[in-house]
């Protein structure tokens, strides 16, 4: 019973959807749709964003 209560009470973090519109110096716009996740840990906040569209957005690993 205790384990079930702990699973039920755990923090699952925050989820959101967002749209970002970028405008260059010539006035052209590009739009990106994203799904965002955030979790508040004891000593830090972890955040992650997934680009949903357009499909041409490439992932860069650093």
Rounded to a whole number of angstroms, the CA Rg of the chain reads 17
The pLDDT tens digits of the residues spanning 22-33 come to 999 999 999 999
Q: Where do we find the tokens 């702990």?
A: 6
What are the residue ranges spanned by the domains of the chain?
Answer: 17-51
49 with 32: CB under 8 angstroms? Answer: no
The pLDDT tens digits of the residues spanning 6-61 come to 656 666 678 899 999 999 999 999 999 999 999 888 888 889 998 888 877 666 76
Pairwise pLDDT comparison (34 vs 62), residue with the higher score = 34
Per-residue pLDDT, 27:
95
From residue 16, how far is each of 2, 23, 45, 51 by CA, in Å?
A: 30, 23, 15, 12
Taking the CA atoms of 4, 43, 19 and 54 in sequence, report the sign of the dihedral they define: negative
Per-residue pLDDT, 55:
76
């Amino acid at each position: 019973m205790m384990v079930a209560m702990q699973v039920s009470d755990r923090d699952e973090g925050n989820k959101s959807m967002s749209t970002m519109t970028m405008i260059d110096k010539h006035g052209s716009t590009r739009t990106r749709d994203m799904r965002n996740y955030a979790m508040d840990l004891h000593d830090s906040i972890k955040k992650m964003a997934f680009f949903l569209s357009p499909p041409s957005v490439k992932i860069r690993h650093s």
